[in-house]
Amino acid sequence: MGKRFIEGARVPAELVNQKSEKEKQSGGRPPFWEMVFWWTRKPLSGARAIIGASLLPEEITPEEFTTQLRLNEDIPHKYPPLIFSNREFLKYFLGKKMLDPFAGFGCIPLEALRLGLEVTAGELLPTAYIFLKAILEYPAEFGDILVEDVKRWGEWITEKLKEDKEIKELYDEEVAVYVGTWEIKCPHCGKWTPIVGNWWLARVKDSKGKYKRLAYMDYQKTEEGIEIEVIDVNKEVGATENAKVDTNKGEIVIEEKTYKVPAPNINSRREQVICLNCGSVIRFADAEGNHYTDKKEVAKGKREELEFYVKWALKKYHDGDERFARQRLLVKVKPEDGDLIFEKATIEDNKKLGIAKEKVKKLIESGDVDVPSENLWNYSASGGGALSIFIWGFDKFYKLFNPRQLLTLIKITKLIREVGKRAEDEKLKKGWSEEKAFKYSEAIATYLSIALLRYITFNTVTSPIRVDTLFNAIVAGNMSFRGIAMVWNYGEIFPFCSITGSWVKNNEKVINSLQYLTSALSNKPKNIEIIQADATSLNLGEQFDIIVTDPPYADDVPYSELSDFYYVWLKRALSDVEGGKLIPRYHKEAFFKKIGKKYIEIKTQWQEFAKKEVSENAGRFMDLENKQEIAKKHFKNLLTQSFIAMKNHLKDDGVLVTYYAHTSPEAWASLLYAGWKGAKVTITNAFPLTTESTQSIVSRGKLALDTSIVVVWRKIQQEKEKNIHSLREEIIEAVKKRTKELINQGYVGRDVLIGAMARALNIITRYKELYDAKGNLTVEKVLTEYVYPFTAIGIAESLREIAETGEIKKPESLFYLLVKALFGSKEKVTAKKMEKSDIILLRLSTKVDTDKLLSHKVLKKVKEEYKLLEPMTTDTTQLERFLKDERGINFIKLKIRNSLDGLHLMEYYSLKLPASNLRKKWEELKEDFSFELEEAFILAKILAKILPDVDPEKELAESFVRNVEGKEVKPLQQEKMF
């Protein structure tokens, strides 16, 4: 069983991460990602590197690895790997089989196919299963001809839609986008007030950061109610380059004129709206709709029944009682010579919405099956607000659209169904076999459905207006924030305009994607199998050379519910209708359950699949007591089941690689429970990899999730049990060796930490059970009491060996040393960049708690983050200030509390005092603080050797050591370090 490249210390992680970063920037994104949004997609460069490294032998050089996989190209995924012209390398790939049971949007399988593997991609959710077919199967099977046909049939739909009398009647072809919102009847004055979350229409900067386009809405009170006005600053003053804009105040100042942009009149968090007519505050309603400004106005026991008036009114609206809330268009947007013109929406415009509403009503009353009337979920997601849209009364999927949006989407759905039939007939007439013609028409209908799905995300009452981006992207998709959120002005897009998100633009995106995919998969053997299957109970009856996969993490994304938004439309566009009901046509396994001979329609994924998702979502267990606990256990169980299934599908000499988008200690623990304890597989390596874009995650206010940990596992006969103490030396030695290897290759930070820790994990996971004097150890104990501390000791030992000096004994000193050594930038002086999980890991490793780190002045709390207290300068005045203000050193009554006080003080003295006096000072201080000063000196010796040149503390430590020893510190060349 030869070691693979991925199991050694030479995977060029830094390079791969750089390329993955590139992929997230515009121009670097894989085009097929634009088809439709899916969560937590993995960069293709990383996937390619991991698959390649799992199959190639350890002996190849990093250079060969990089060139063969084209990882040295600017954007690697734009280039096919070279291996096909190199028999030496091809042999490691040809005929090899890979499984990804959590395939999502198929990024890992796509790269596997490009490397010539035989691939099985599985997904629990029907929606993803269909996307996987569109990404992998059809392009590989049909190739280029698909591109032309999808284009042609997309245009056919566009033509039909353009000819549609109702479409002509309902839209104004000059208008690309309508901005709409909700109105509430004010309980004080009885008039309708619009609710506007953002009065801005355009606040666009040029490349130099100057404003090139400024426009906003204002309003007038009239007899008829609130009238919207558009203030187009460019129209009034021409160029706006010199404008000063204060978004907080809502002010534009330009050429001595001040424009006031109204403030939003809703504050959802505070549950309050201000009536634009009478200025009163609208707050709470009871069940009957009585209004209260203060909850205290009702008796104590009844206060819980009060809710935000707007919520109450919207719920009424969705129940069919439209006396308290209604929809309203505020503004229309017309494209003109590359610019956008904003005009207020007229009564006529709003009337059209009313006409559409009548038509939709008729469809619903007649029981038209193409109105997606499935129930929305009615619970929240535990990780955040991703699912909370239901609280505004949206209880059925079709309610997420205004009537004109809905009517248009339904028409397109019906046309896609029609295309399926026509495309099939066309090919049959050309003599294709029935089977092939059917599948081909399925492919065409599937791509057009995906274009429809994209249109759906941009065309709901939850698709926000963007004011600060390019003109052609004035509407954002409603999924871009990893959840569906309420918005108080949304965009409605005319199907045929050239604004991002329109029906015709989406067709272009789908065509682009298809071109990319067919060319990526051209000339490859058709060896892809896509299965709709639960990864926790997989039973394929075959084994794979490698399994590379990316399971979901805890409460990260509620996939079932969010993608239901797609599912209800996909089901319609891809099924047939008979007797007023949906019946199977394409992908019937995705939309129907077969019970006996009958096909029963699956209503939604949240009802059918959510509880099978490997996920920790307490909302799904809302009927149960201790739902939090149950959800946690549920996640752990399912993750374990899936690891067991993966082990069963792995060849004996196969390699299992898992991505895991979390680095907290709890995340490590659940991963080890599932893999090591549950499936009894052994870790052979681990390293961090850049994955998700930070942006989407930060917007949810969660800890940055932009790195995944990649863990490599093997099926190895594990020994029964072991006293963990007997492994101490072996673990520390292994960590030490790996640390040197990693540092030697220029690794820093988390890469060294995780890479070194992998050695410890490798050793412990060779045993089924570990125990110490107190008995068998839980996973948490193994980690916190042994793996982390041994890792820290091993790393510190290797640093100490480099500096040929004594041992660091105090935990806070060890913590400081590790942060300095691992997390410093080689390029510039900056505060240490650590994530919360890194700090936790280091804290656990060095067995020191946060309070102690704060009181010892190792860390300082800055808002929600922690900053390392370190000298950032070689200027004595500034150093003195650092010692006094930050470290709290009292020069008059000198007290040295720990080795770091000693270190920083001596570093300061070594600049301040003449060299001859320094040693004296040290000796003098040692009389009272002997331990602290000795350890300070050891720290200085290590820091002087290992810190990068840009770190000011390097010079300080050098000077301290030089003056005490009376000789120069030998500089250290990176390559010669060991």
* Contact residues for ligand SAM, defined by CB under 6 A: 38, 40-42, 101-102, 104-105, 107-108, 122-125, 128, 534-536, 550, 552, 559, 612-614
Nearest in space to 393 (alpha carbons), one of 448, 440, 462, 483: 462
Q: Residue 534 touches which of ligand SAM, Zn ion, none (CB < 5 to 8 A by kind)?
A: ligand SAM
What's the gap between Cα 639 and its chain centre?
20
Whether residue 899 contacts residue 957, with contact meaning beta carbons closer than 8 Å, is answered with: no
CB of 104 or CB of 403, closer to ligand SAM: 104
| Helix, strand, or coil (residue 374) | coil
DSSP H or E segment with residue 708: strand 707-714
Q: Residue 277 touches which of ligand SAM, Zn ion, none (CB < 5 to 8 A by kind)?
A: Zn ion
CB of 194 or CB of 483, closer to Zn ion: 194
Q: Residue 104 touches which of Zn ion, ligand SAM, none (CB < 5 to 8 A by kind)?
A: ligand SAM
Q: Smallest distance from the beta carbon of 190 to Zn ion, in angstroms?
A: 7
Q: Smallest distance from the beta carbon of 843 to ligand SAM, in angstroms?
A: 28
What's the gap between Cα 653 and its chain centre?
33
Q: Smallest distance from the beta carbon of 42 to ligand SAM, in angstroms?
A: 4
Q: Which single residue brings its beta carbon nearest to ligand SAM?
A: 104
186 forms part of the interface with Zn ion (CB under 5 A): yes
List 592's β-bridge partners, or say none. 601
813 forms part of the interface with Zn ion (CB under 5 A): no
Q: Smallest distance from the beta carbon of 275 to Zn ion, in angstroms?
A: 3
Q: Smallest distance from the beta carbon of 101 to ligand SAM, in angstroms?
A: 6
Q: Residue 37 touches which of Zn ion, ligand SAM, none (CB < 5 to 8 A by kind)?
A: none
278 forms part of the interface with Zn ion (CB under 5 A): yes
C-alpha 677/C-alpha 193 separation (Å) is: 60
C-alpha 516/C-alpha 519 separation (Å) is: 5
275 forms part of the interface with Zn ion (CB under 5 A): yes
- The CA angle 960-964-967, to the nearest 5 degrees, is 95
The one-letter amino acid at 239: A
- The CA angle 275-464-379, to the nearest 5 degrees, is 85
Q: Smallest distance from the beta carbon of 537 to ligand SAM, in angstroms?
A: 8
Q: Residue 186 touches which of Zn ion, ligand SAM, none (CB < 5 to 8 A by kind)?
A: Zn ion
CB of 360 or CB of 614, closer to ligand SAM: 614
Q: Give the up-direction half-sphere exposure of residue 364: CA atoms within 13 A in the CB hemisphere.
A: 17
281 forms part of the interface with Zn ion (CB under 5 A): no
Q: Smallest distance from the beta carbon of 739 to ligand SAM, in angstroms?
A: 31
Q: Residue 278 touches which of ligand SAM, Zn ion, none (CB < 5 to 8 A by kind)?
A: Zn ion
C-alpha 32/C-alpha 37 separation (Å) is: 10
Site residue total, Zn ion (CB under 5 A): 6
C-alpha 800/C-alpha 793 separation (Å) is: 10
CB of 15 or CB of 278, closer to Zn ion: 278
Query: Radius of gyration of the chain from Cα atoms?
Result: 32
Q: Smallest distance from the beta carbon of 641 to ligand SAM, in angstroms?
A: 8
| Dihedral angle computed from the Cα positions of residues 559, 563, 564 and 568, in that order, rounded to the nearest 10 degrees | -160
Whether residue 961 contacts residue 903, with contact meaning beta carbons closer than 8 Å, is answered with: no
CB of 309 or CB of 660, closer to Zn ion: 309
Q: Smallest distance from the beta carbon of 677 to ligand SAM, in angstroms?
A: 19
Q: Smallest distance from the beta carbon of 25 to ligand SAM, in angstroms?
A: 18
CB of 132 or CB of 763, closer to ligand SAM: 132
C-alpha 63/C-alpha 72 separation (Å) is: 9
CB of 119 or CB of 412, closer to ligand SAM: 119
Q: Smallest distance from the beta carbon of 435 to ligand SAM, in angstroms?
A: 28
Q: Smallest distance from the beta carbon of 193 to Zn ion, in angstroms?
A: 6
Q: Smallest distance from the beta carbon of 230 to Zn ion, in angstroms?
A: 23
C-alpha 29/C-alpha 695 separation (Å) is: 14
- The CA angle 675-676-682, to the nearest 5 degrees, is 100
Q: Smallest distance from the beta carbon of 585 to ligand SAM, in angstroms?
A: 24
C-alpha 525/C-alpha 112 separation (Å) is: 12
Whether residue 179 contacts residue 330, with contact meaning beta carbons closer than 8 Å, is answered with: yes
Which among 27-35, 182-190, 461-469, 557-565 is the span making contact with Zn ion, rule CB under 5 A?
A: 182-190
Q: Give the other-Cβ count within 10 Å of 624's Cβ.
A: 12
Which among 118-126, 178-186, 674-682, 736-744 is the span making contact with Zn ion, rule CB under 5 A?
A: 178-186
Q: Residue 559 touches which of Zn ion, ligand SAM, none (CB < 5 to 8 A by kind)?
A: ligand SAM
CB of 465 or CB of 530, closer to ligand SAM: 530
Q: Residue 41 touches which of Zn ion, ligand SAM, none (CB < 5 to 8 A by kind)?
A: ligand SAM
CB of 6 or CB of 112, closer to ligand SAM: 112
Does the CA dihedral 911-916-919-922 come out positive or negative?
A: negative
DSSP H or E segment with residue 796: helix 788-803
Length of the chain: 978
C-alpha 485/C-alpha 155 separation (Å) is: 32
CB of 188 or CB of 316, closer to Zn ion: 188
List 601's β-bridge partners, or say none. 592
C-alpha 782/C-alpha 728 separation (Å) is: 12
265 forms part of the interface with Zn ion (CB under 5 A): no
Greatest CA separation for the chain: 100
CB of 216 or CB of 309, closer to Zn ion: 309
CB of 102 or CB of 929, closer to ligand SAM: 102
Q: Residue 535 touches which of Zn ion, ligand SAM, none (CB < 5 to 8 A by kind)?
A: ligand SAM
C-alpha 466/C-alpha 153 separation (Å) is: 31
Which among 274-282, 364-372, 614-622, 667-675 is the span making contact with Zn ion, rule CB under 5 A?
A: 274-282
Sheet holding 775-776, edge to edge: 719-723, 767-772, 775-776
CB of 216 or CB of 659, closer to ligand SAM: 659
622 forms part of the interface with Zn ion (CB under 5 A): no
Q: Smallest distance from the beta carbon of 34 to ligand SAM, in angstroms?
A: 14
CB of 102 or CB of 488, closer to ligand SAM: 102
Whether residue 665 contacts residue 782, with contact meaning beta carbons closer than 8 Å, is answered with: no
| Helix, strand, or coil (residue 331) | strand
**C-alpha distances in Å from residue 304, one per residue of 272, 284, 291, 310:** 17, 11, 14, 16
CB of 34 or CB of 801, closer to ligand SAM: 34
Q: What is the DSSP string of 168-197?
A: HHH--TT--EEEEEEEEE-TTT--EEE--S
277 forms part of the interface with Zn ion (CB under 5 A): yes
Residue with tokens 């052979």: 684
CB of 230 or CB of 657, closer to ligand SAM: 657
Q: Residue 189 touches which of ligand SAM, Zn ion, none (CB < 5 to 8 A by kind)?
A: Zn ion
Q: Smallest distance from the beta carbon of 121 to ligand SAM, in angstroms?
A: 10
Q: What is the DSSP string of 140-162?
A: HHHTTHHHHHHHHHHHHHHHHHH
Q: Residue 903 touches which of Zn ion, ligand SAM, none (CB < 5 to 8 A by kind)?
A: none
Which among 183-191, 598-606, 649-657, 796-804 is the span making contact with Zn ion, rule CB under 5 A?
A: 183-191
* Token pair belonging to 781: 């104990």
Site mask, Zn ion, residues 188-207, x = CB under 5 A?
Answer: xx------------------
What's the gap between Cα 777 and its chain centre?
34
CB of 186 or CB of 844, closer to Zn ion: 186
C-alpha 148/C-alpha 142 separation (Å) is: 11
Residues that bind Zn ion (CB under 5 A): 186, 188-189, 275, 277-278
